[in-house]
Amino acid sequence: MILKIIAVADARSHATETRAEEIRHKLIWIIGTTTILLGLLALVVGQRISKMGASMTAAMCGEGRFEVVLPGVG
């Protein structure tokens, strides 16, 4: 009787460990993919912001680029 209970407990323990390992692997992939995607998004947003700042600076420094519309000026 006790051996049967121990065998069932061992089987449940093994199944639980296997499921936990599967969940760990999925979480690692999800976190890694999310990190890469957020990094790429940060690069795109950063490039857009720097291009906007560079064009505003060029317009304010009088390089003759009068087609640049400054925010707040119209």
Q: What is the pLDDT of residues 7-61, one digit of tens each?
A: 999 999 999 999 999 999 999 999 999 999 999 999 999 999 998 888 777 777 7
Q: How high is the pLDDT of residue 26? A: 98
28 to 17, 23, 32, 58: CA distances (angstroms): 16, 9, 6, 45
Q: How high is the pLDDT of residue 52? A: 85
Q: How high is the pLDDT of residue 54? A: 82
Q: How far apart are CA 12 and CA 69, in angstroms?
A: 67
Instruction: Pinpoint the alpha helices (H) of the chain.
Output: 2-60
Q: Write down the domain spans for the chain.
A: 1-54
Question: pTM of the full predicted structure?
Answer: 0.61
Which of 38 and 1 is assigned the larger pLDDT?
Answer: 38
